């Protein structure tokens, strides 16, 4: 896939642990193309979000209580770090996968190495 690729951010302990669990940096990213935002965290999370479904992209400094892939219903957190989190609000809900399970994603919080650049990229015309 062509587009601008943003690495998922990791703390040093989480980088080692999540790599062993198949969710490390080599298998995890956010890629923004003209029409799609692709989010992957190894086997645990995957979503191909139409850019037209992204209603808001902003820095998110809400508390983080865990790392990996967490959530329920339509709101999910995909992270390897407690910092650099970007929140994407989506409408309509986007079919996504958490492990083998399908979810209708409406809010995605994702930690990235360049959060300001991701927000700016999503603000640019696709």
Listed by start position, the domains of the chain span 4-123
63: which residues sit within 8 A by CB, 6+ positions away? none
Buried b (16+ CB within 10 A) or exposed e, 12-40: eebbebbbeeebbbeebbbbbeeebbbbb
Summarised one tens digit per residue, pLDDT across range 73-86 is 899 999 999 999 99
pLDDT at 125: 60
Output the pLDDT for position 13: 84
* pLDDT at residue number 124: 81
Residue 1, pLDDT score? 54
Tens-digit pLDDT string for the chain (126 aa): 579 999 999 988 888 788 888 888 999 999 999 999 999 999 999 999 999 999 999 999 988 888 989 999 899 999 999 999 999 999 999 999 999 999 999 999 999 999 999 999 999 865
Could you tell me which of 73, 70, 55, 52 has the C-alpha nearest to residue 109? Answer: 70
């Amino acid at each position: 896939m062509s587009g601008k690729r943003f690495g998922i951010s990791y703390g040093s302990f989480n980088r080692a642990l999540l790599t062993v669990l198949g969710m490390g940096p080599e298998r995890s990213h956010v890629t923004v193309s003209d029409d799609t935002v692709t989010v992957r965290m190894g086997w645990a999370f995957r979503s191909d979000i139409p850019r037209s479904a992204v209603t808001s992209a902003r820095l998110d400094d809400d508390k983080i209580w865990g790392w990996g892939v967490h959530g329920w219903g339509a709101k999910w957190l995909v992270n390897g770090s407690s910092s650099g989190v970007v929140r994407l609000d989506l409408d309509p809900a986007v079919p996504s996968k958490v492990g083998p399970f399908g979810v209708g994603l409406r809010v995605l919080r994702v930690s990235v190495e360049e959060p300001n650049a991701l927000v700016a990229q999503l603000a640019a015309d696709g």
